[in-house]
Amino acid sequence: MIRNILCLLFLLPVSAALSQSYDTDLLTKEFHKSRREALRQGLPDSACAVFFSNPERARANDTKFIYHQDPNFYYLTGLDEPNSMLIIFKEPQTFYDSITTNELIFVQNRNPMQESWTGKIMGREGVKQQLGFGSVLLNEQFADFKIDFSKFYKVYHLGLFDDAHDDKDDKGDLASLISHFKDKTTYKRKNTDGFNLYGLMASLREIKQPEELVLMRKAIDMTCLAHMEVMRSLVPGMKEYQAQAVVEYMFRKEGSEYVGYPSIVGGGENSCILHYETNRKMLVGGDLLVIDAGAEYHGYTADVTRTLPVDGVFSPEEKAIYNIVLEAQEAGIKACRAGAEFRATHKAAVAVVQKRLMELGIIKEANDFMKYFFHGTSHYLGLDVHDAGNYGKLAAGQIITVEPGIYIPAGSPCDPKWWNIGIRIEDDVLITTGEPDVLSGKLPKKTAEIEALMKEESLFNK
């Protein structure tokens, strides 16, 4: 039994306290403080904003999924630990005649016995020293903490988790923090606002700060290296999961902590399924393989897709559809201009797809394109793969994807020679004051470039 438990320990995430000392390029406490100040500036007078850490979630029996912090909470604090709560005040507040502050954070207490199993956590002193908070309390103190939320013009929050496990012996766990917050606000009081904070946070997070761009470039660079390696290694007879293994090995080798989202590796008929995640099919010559996979680095994720011929050569039909998608993507990237409407990229891509599919006789009416291209072309990218943003006009500092696709499953109302051709091409684009910056541009995407790279030898095939 003890052997099994010890094995499980190797699967546990490195605690925030340890990662602060192991990694030298984490976002600084000054960065997170600046984000709290930016949010404070956006709050109306006599308002406060309340944030909760993500719940811990069970995978099976007594094992948990690797913990992932709520992106908004991490953005504002840098704390990657559960059972925590942050309150940001517009103006300084005084509590107990001894605490005057414009922010409070409630965190877990250190427990040496527990830490011998799951690793060290920060505790009050660690949060003060490493994250730069002045007013740090233990989460168990919130239950009895004297704070009158009724005096504020607005008490903003982002919705309250309903799946937090309640430990009856712990009055500081997330379920208790939420319960006591409801009690202190009577939850439905008129000054409690569970909606408008989303827009405030989206306005902040959609514009990436220079420090964030450094981490985004690292995540995207390692993602490009991984996609290039799978191009070299792909051969008929591989399983989808083996291609996935190559990609995710390279992520880890380059320093990624996690995948940004479950890797989509779909061959043959599965190339026509947008979010296919089974990844168990054997790949054969004549299949196309869609690989949509991105590395996560210090919380920031890439999102890149390439479509490959399993046997190393695109057929004439595959090349025809591929080049339509590529032309559509290039049109979408060209539309990535500050001041343009967010949907400008989609409109540009759709115009190409409509025209070219009609030329090939695959559709007869322009609006029939939606049978084969039925998703949006762009979304924001950052701490979430579908990151926070207001979807207004494009602005310098935003990172968006440009990812048109065409998917023609068997049985579609067109010539069967097109069936089971699914193609998506996706790049990550930084909006600037001038030309768009394709951050994943080092990854080949023209058919001749892909075929040439697939001829190179891979370490995994030796």
Boundary residue ending a domain (157, 180, 204) = 204
* φ, ψ at 168 (rounded to 5°): -60, -20
Q: Which pLDDT score is estimated for 162?
A: 84
CATH of the domain at 429: 3.90.230.10
The reply to whether 456 and 356 lie within a common domain is yes
Return phi, psi of residue 258, to 5°: -145, 170
Domain co-membership, 224 together with 296: yes
- 55: tokens are 């719940």
Other CB atoms within 10 Å distance of the CB of residue 440: 24
Both 395 and 298 in one domain: the answer is yes
Task: Give strand pairing partners of 438.
Answer: 429
Domain that holds residue 344: 207-461
Residues 160-185 as b or e (16 or more Cβ within 10 Å = b):
beeebeeeeeebbbbbbbbbbbeebb
Pair (198, 215) in one structural domain:
no
pLDDT at 20: 56
One domain for residues 230 and 351: yes
Domain endpoint, select from 174, 204, 234 = 204
- What the block records as the tokens of 149 is 């939320």
User: HSE of 202 in the Cβ direction (CA atoms, 13 Å)?
Assistant: 15
CATH number at residue 117: 3.40.350.10
Amino acid identity, position 13 = P
Q: pLDDT value at position 171?
A: 87
Domain co-membership, 125 together with 226: no
Co-location of 199 and 212 in the same domain: no
Cα–Cα distance, 15 to 130 (Å, whole number): 13
pTM: 0.94
pLDDT, one tens digit per residue, over 135-146 is 999 999 999 999
- As a whole number of angstroms, the distance between CA 243 and CA 291 comes to 9
Q: 262 and 165, same structural domain? A: no
Tally of structural domains, the chain: 2
Q: Which residues of the chain have a pLDDT value below 50?
A: 1-15
Q: Are residues 127 and 156 in the same domain?
A: yes
Among 254, 266, 262, 264, CA closest to 223 = 254
